[in-house]
Amino acid sequence: NTEKAEPFYRLSVPKQKTSSEIINEARNVLRTLRTRRPFTPTEDQRKLFGSGSSRAPQNRPPSVFSLRASCFDLAESRPVSGVRLSPLDHKPILVTFAKDEDSSISFPKSPADAAEVRKVSNARACLFRRTSQGNFLSAKMVSPDQSEEKLDSEESAMVNNLCRSNDNCLAEQRSYTPFNDESRQLICNDRISRSEREDFLKGTAGKFLFQLRGESDQMKKPGTSSSWPRSTGWKRIVTGLEDETRINESEEEESFWHIKILPILHELEKEDNIENLCLACTKLYHALNEGNMLGKRFKRRSVLLKTLYKLVDIDSDPLCLKLAKIILAMKVDGKNLLSVCKLAFKICRNEKNDYIIQNDRLLDCLLEILRTEDLQKNSEALLYCMGAIKFMSGNAVLLNEMVNKGAIEMLLQLMKQINNIKENDIHFSNLGHLLVQLTATLRNLTDLPPARCQLICSGAVSELSVALEQRMNDKDVCMYIVRIFSKLSSYNDFCAALADCSRCYILFLVLLNKHQKQQDLIIRIIFILGNLTAKNNQAREQFFKEKGSVNTLVSLFQTYHELDLNAQKWYHETGGEGKNHPKHPSEAEDVLIKLIRVLANLSIHPSIGAALAAAHRVVELLVTVLEYKSVDDCEELVINAATTINNLSYYKVKSSAVQDKKLHIAE
């Protein structure tokens, strides 16, 4: 069975290959190219808009601002169940004296300027002195069985306080004036004699206290001589006090307030030490949560919020963090929501606060705002809320926490809402600022594998593509979305999802033509196209079929080839011949490297490769690179150009530019 050996003198003849084997070997020489992802430097400082932002400073919201207690609006602190003062159905009669005909009612003075309150000790002194509504924290602590007796004394004292005011309010007829809605104080005549005052307290005041207790729906009984005229209007006035009294307040809630909440507020009033204030705020939050007093339904909400707002003047980030958490949990809105979001932004802007933020669950409160607040009504508040979350995403621990708390789904839902706002809408421009913060946060999230999976499963490609299409003129938004695609297209699963989005190719071509000189944007788009065409034949076909696709690549090739030539010429003219070239490619060289990679990847497709081989301008530019650039200058660029020419030389078409220049190329 052994084979017969050939004579030693007979030369061995190699086995002749078939035509198909020769073609397959030649085709196997064709190869795609790989390259490094464009480098994105980290911002040195945390800002709403980075140093490279295309927005002019005067056309964007500020990153630095002054935030004081005066930035909060006390009028917005009413509980949601509070009944606002209805307008009187008649014109009130104001009784005046002859000597005071030109005088007017003097209303309570507004709180002192917050600029005067800077240090802890000063803030302590002014904490409750600045309210003209009366001292709501002056009540002493009582036991539950003493609450009824305490209620009587408190209400009597309150009515006495309400009766101290101007001379013109209550004259001989004992007429009254309407409330100032801001202060909601009764204005009474302090010239009433002591006996008259006692009669008043025994008569109408008793009924007033009776209504405060919620024990009667009637303000006046027939025949009561001591009741005030126009009792219907008086009932409206009493109802207007609802948010700062105990109307319809359960005994349990009142008892809890006096036993658990009020002592902590007294502690906040008297304490000077920051650490102790922080501990008191922590106790307050847990007590409010225990008593189910978080949110808008809490009757004494306004008293609590006024106390917290004034503590903002104490310039301490740990304390402000505690305050922000409680204020957000109280579900404030309007101006107060904006101010507390700015407060959170200010805290998160300082990287040194990341540790305390991790331990205080501020992220939960901010994500809740994104989930629940109206986009158009509170766009500025959402901007600073999103800015704070963006800063948090720069911390690895907080970044993981975001993924675990479902932040990606919330962010994509918010992006969908923004995408539904059309360009002719008055909110469109301002929402662009919010979209910058949102996309910057998503870019940070792409560093985590679980986040990448969620982005694919949540349909992020379609929403990002819509945003990219709508915001073509906003370079900041385009840059962050392109950075997201650049990062994610390096992974096969996302690259396949992006390749299936047929709209993305035309969007990329529009951006390439619109921002040709924006190197940082151009290089990332070309990098994405290189990833799409590296392994997917369908992606090669779709891109090549788009109108002007090859012409766009040729135009970019020409532009950055000229920039590279000019840079090299300047280098030699300035005497740089004896100096070492930089290790990394220049910006122009980097664009050319990634652009030639796209051409090499496209040339793998049989029909596209043949078309490119016949494109004389493409081949000329590739040959030019070999002519003026040496391996020592930029090795990757030269290798990419040679590989692409080699790929194109495979196609034996009649009009092949490679065949026409084969001698020149060989040289």
Give the model confidence (pLDDT) of 286-343 as tens digits: 999 998 888 888 788 888 999 899 898 888 999 999 999 999 999 999 999 999 999 9
Q: Could you tell me the pLDDT band of residue 5, with boundaries at 50, 70 and 90?
A: low
φ and ψ at 313, to 5 degrees? -65, -20
Q: Which of 159-168, 241-250, 346-355 has the lowest mean pLDDT?
A: 159-168
CB contact at 8 A, 319 and 277: yes
Residue of 103, 98, 111 whose CA lies nearest to 182 = 111
Q: Could you tell me the pLDDT band of residue 182, with boundaries at 50, 70 and 90?
A: very low
- pLDDT exceeds 60 at position 55: yes
CA 84 to chain CA centroid, Å, is 33
**Average pLDDT, rounded, for the chain:** 75
- Give the burial string for 297-326 (b: 16+ CB within 10 Å, else e): ebbbbbbbbbbbbbbbbbebbbbbbbbbbb
pLDDT, position 419: 95
- pLDDT exceeds 80 at position 99: no
How far, in Å, CA of 10 to CA of 358, rounded? 83
pLDDT, position 14: 64
Token pair belonging to 222: 């027939």
Q: Which residue has the tokens 């104001």?
A: 94
pLDDT, position 2: 59
Token pair belonging to 238: 């009493």
- Higher pLDDT pick, 494 / 299: 494
How far, in Å, CA of 523 to CA of 512, rounded? 9
pLDDT, position 426: 87
The class that CATH gives domain 19-37+503-667 is mainly alpha
Give whole-number Cα distances, 358 to 42, 73, 280, 376, 597, in Å: 22, 29, 19, 30, 44
pLDDT, position 281: 94
pLDDT, position 427: 87
- pLDDT exceeds 80 at position 478: yes
Q: Could you tell me the pLDDT band of residue 117, with boundaries at 50, 70 and 90?
A: very low
Give the type of residue at 413: Q
Give the type of residue at 86: S
Domain ranges for the chain: 19-37+503-667, 70-250
Could you read off the pLDDT of 202-242 as tens digits, one per residue? 444 444 334 434 443 443 344 443 333 333 443 334 344 44
pLDDT, position 16: 57
The secondary element (H helix, E strand) that includes residue 519 is helix 519-535
DSSP 259: I
How far, in Å, CA of 19 to CA of 434, rounded? 62
DSSP 69: G
Sign of CA dihedral 192, 194, 196, 197: positive
Residue of 330, 398, 339, 335 whose CA lies nearest to 368 = 330
CA dihedral 342, 346, 351, 357 (to 10 degrees): -60
Cβ partners under 8 Å of residue 277, min gap 6? 120, 268, 271, 311, 314, 316, 319, 322
Token pair belonging to 274: 């920051």
Could you read off the pLDDT of 427-477 as tens digits, one per residue? 898 899 999 999 999 999 998 999 999 998 888 999 999 999 999 999 999
pLDDT, position 662: 65
How far, in Å, CA of 443 to CA of 42, rounded? 12
Q: In the chain, pLDDT over 90 holds for what percent of residues?
A: 42
Report how many helices (DSSP H) and strands (DSSP E) the chain contains, helices first. Answer: 32, 0
Give the type of residue at 399: L
Three-state DSSP state, 87: coil
Top mean pLDDT of 2-6, 253-257, 531-535 is at 531-535
- Higher pLDDT pick, 37 / 569: 569
Q: Where are the beta strands (DSSP E) in 84-132?
A: none
Q: Which of 40-44, 142-146, 378-382 has the lowest mean pLDDT?
A: 142-146
How far, in Å, CA of 151 to CA of 298, rounded? 18
- pLDDT exceeds 70 at position 282: yes
CB contact at 8 A, 162 and 188: yes
Give whole-number Cα distances, 258 to 203, 210, 253, 261, 301, in Å: 28, 21, 9, 6, 14
The secondary element (H helix, E strand) that includes residue 96 is none
Token pair belonging to 162: 């309400």
Top mean pLDDT of 41-45, 167-171, 545-549, 582-586 is at 545-549
Give whole-number Cα distances, 298 to 73, 215, 427, in Å: 18, 20, 33
The neighbour count for residue 101, using CB atoms within 10 Å, is 8
- pLDDT exceeds 50 at position 272: yes
pLDDT, position 190: 40
Residue of 399, 258, 313, 255 whose CA lies nearest to 116 = 313
Q: Where are the beta strands (DSSP E) in 154-204?
A: none
Determine the average pLDDT of the residues in 332-361: 92
CB contact at 8 A, 403 and 451: yes
Determine the average pLDDT of the residues in 517-528: 94
How far, in Å, CA of 437 to CA of 392, rounded? 12
pLDDT, position 160: 46
Residue 61 class from Cβ within 10 Å (0-12 exposed, 13-18 middle, 19+ buried)?
middle
Residues found in the chain: 667
Give long-range contacts, CB 8 A cutoff, 24+ apart: 493-501: 493/456, 494/452, 494/455, 494/456, 494/461, 495/531, 495/532, 495/535, 495/536, 496/536, 497/456, 497/461, 498/461, 498/528, 498/532, 499/532, 499/536, 499/538, 499/539, 499/542, 501/461, 501/462, 501/465
- pLDDT exceeds 80 at position 564: yes
DSSP 299: T
Question: C-alpha angle 234/237/242, rounded to 5°?
Answer: 135
pLDDT, position 249: 58
- Higher pLDDT pick, 507 / 143: 507
